[in-house]
Amino acid sequence: MVDVAVRPVRLEDAAPLAALLRADREVLAPWEPVRDGEWSTEEGQRRELRRVLERAAADAVLPCVVLVDGEPAGRVNVNNVVRGAFQSGDLGYWIASPHTGRGVATAAVAAVARRAFADPGDGGLGLHRLQAGTLPHNAASRRVLERNGFTRIGCAPRYLRIAGRWQDHVLYQLLAPEDRAGPGPDAGAPAQPGAGQVAAGNPGPSRTGRGSSSRVTIGPATASTST
């Protein structure tokens, strides 16, 4: 059994996260922006965590750490939160290589999506949608998104500078459960209440507070089927 939990980052996560990044420097390099040498140091990660915690206090991000059996195993975040008429955020995540292929990323994305869509009164962000972009050849990341109900919405040419060059990305989105079924109010008729049809595997709303953990236990039947 694999116990996967997601909680907001803390400054004391800097040392274990830095150790994971150093161990996986070559594994992560093809999928990330070029990083300077300080990125994978404890002090570099502490600066990064301070930065994202300040942005979290301004309601701009939801930065989380992924725990496997109680130990840090990666990060999952909702970045670039936009309010107003958009109510959207960008999903990002990475999982240390010893934990890939065990369903950890799939569980972590599901947990943070529940929190992103939950009502603010229940500790969530109250978002309408999440967007995620992945390199076209990153089949593992695309499977994680699709298993969580994300749907492809297009391709953005030269979208992000990854591994030192501008690269195309496939874009996905996931709508809040209450927004997934039926026409919107701009389709010529008033929006109707009701949950409607929700695809299997889509994360629903959570009542987990923003300062606590969301926890998922993965049994042996699913451990080898997800990334």
Q: For position 69, which CATH number holds?
A: 3.40.630.30
Structural domain count, the chain: 1
Residue 23 lies in a domain: yes
Instruction: Report the percentage of the chain scoring pLDDT > 70.
Output: 80
Quick check: is 181 in a domain? yes
Nearest Cα to Cα of residue 131 among 119, 107, 148: 148
pLDDT of residue 183: 55
pLDDT for the residue 20: 98
The answer to the question of residue 219 being in a domain is no
**Residue 220 domain-assigned (yes or no):** no
Give the domain range for residue 47: 2-192
Q: How far apart are CA 215 and CA 55, in angstroms?
A: 24
Q: Is residue 137 part of a domain?
A: yes
Q: The tokens of 1 are what?
A: 């059994």
pLDDT at 14 over 90: yes
Distance between CA atoms of 2 and 149, rounded to whole angstroms? 22
pLDDT at position 54 = 98
pTM above 0.85, yes or no: no
* pLDDT score, position 168: 98
| Cross-strand partners of 64 | 8, 76
Query: What percentage of the chain has pLDDT greater than the value 90?
Result: 78
Any domain includes 104: yes
Look at residue 221 and tell me whether its pLDDT is greater than 90: no
What is the average per-residue pLDDT within 37-62? 97
CA distance 203 to 136: 24
Q: Of 13, 72, 82, 95, which Cα lies nearest the Cα of 48?
A: 13
